[in-house]
Amino acid sequence: MKVAVYSRGLDQEQGEPLLLLLRSLAQQQIGVLIYRPLLGQYPLPAEMLRDLTPFQVSEDLTKDVDCLISLGGDGTMLDAVTLVRDSNIPILGINFGRLGFLASIVPEELESAVDALVNRTFLLDKRTLIHVDSNRPLFGNSPFALNEFAIHKRDTSPMIKIHTYLNGEFLNSYWSDGLIVSTPTGSSGYNMSCNGPILFPESASFVITPVAPHNLNVRPIIVADTNVISFEIEGRTDQFICALDARKEIVDKTIQLAVRKEKFCVSLVRLNENSFLSTLRTKLTWGLDKRN
């Protein structure tokens, strides 16, 4: 068995859980690829370093890698998605961040998570990705996202007008600060903070949610993820922001943009006790009533 270990970076006190993870993997005789920049951030014993293979880019993750372990918060998980791409390598998230909605396994569960990998006592959640198409190259070789695609006005510029179409048919013109097209996974993130609905991961839908709309009668709308959603943007400024999860690019308003369901999915490792509903209740205090 072989796993890859990825992190954006760890604080000094988080080095101990990393050491514990690497020792647990070694005890189970699991081969380890480790993200190269991580090696220089925390001193590891020389005898341990000999058994680690550094990796840097997606192409370094070979087909014999059984899992990528993400150490960090949900943002680190989003980075990990761009690393595994269409390789079908599942991602297991260890939460060193705050909320940990995607990376739901706490550091205290490291050893049990390793046992679950070895004994195959875990579940895989297939998650839909969103893909952006444009007439100019955007987002390099990773024009896809797990959470959402968003269009934003720049800084303090006036609101923009976003003409939106479903499969070429006019849907609506949004006068707003921006527009979010969210996957079911992303519906509990930025979309939710803009009063969009929460979707179950298997709902096969996108939700279109305006950001600070200038019309009282404009509300989020859920559409099937078989639709191609395209946009035309008007505004007093010549540029606006395109965001794909945590990545953004400044583009000209004459650009042609569309989003659709990505051709491949990503798999998230889930321990049996961590269901979507339990995560809603514990992480977002869904349904919490102090009277009960």
Stretch 178-203: mean pLDDT: 95
Stretch 227-249: mean pLDDT: 94
Stretch 258-273: mean pLDDT: 92
Report the predicted TM-score, pTM, of the whole model to 2 decimal places.
0.91
pLDDT range class, residue 48, cuts 50, 70, 90: confident
pLDDT range class, residue 210, cuts 50, 70, 90: very high
Q: What is the pLDDT of residue 50?
A: 84
Q: What is the pLDDT of residue 9?
A: 79
Positions annotated as catalytic residues are: 74
3-class SS string, the chain? CEEEEECCCCCHHHHHHHHHHHHHHHHCCCEEEEEHHHHCCCCCCHHHHCCEEEECCHHHCCCCCCEEEEEECHHHHHHHHHHHCCCCCCEEEEECCCCCCCCCECHHHHHHHHHHHHHCCEEEEEECCEEEEECCCCCCCCCEECCEEEEECCCCCCCEEEEEEECCEEEEEEEECEEEEECCHHHHCHHHHCCCCCCCCCCCEEEEEEECCCCCCCCCEEEECCCCEEEEEECCCCEEEEEECCEEEEEECCCCEEEEECCCCEEEEEECCCCHHHHHHHHCCCCCCCCC
Stretch 18-45: mean pLDDT: 87
Q: What is the pLDDT of residue 149?
A: 98
Q: What is the pLDDT of residue 269?
A: 92
54-88 pLDDT, tens digit per residue, is 999 999 998 899 999 999 888 999 999 999 999 99
Q: Which domains does the chain have, with CATH numbers?
A: 2-128+265-283 (3.40.50.10330), 130-261 (2.60.200.30)
- Looking at the predicted structure, is the pLDDT value of residue 272 above 80? no
Q: What is the pLDDT of residue 165?
A: 98
- Looking at the predicted structure, is the pLDDT value of residue 211 above 70? yes
Of 236 and 227, the structure prediction assigns the larger pLDDT to 227
pLDDT range class, residue 13, cuts 50, 70, 90: low
Q: What is the pLDDT of residue 10?
A: 75
- Looking at the predicted structure, is the pLDDT value of residue 40 above 90? no
127-183 pLDDT, tens digit per residue, is 999 999 999 999 999 999 999 999 999 987 889 999 999 999 999 999 999 999 999
Of 282 and 253, the structure prediction assigns the larger pLDDT to 253
Q: What is the pLDDT of residue 273?
A: 67
pLDDT, mean over the chain: 90
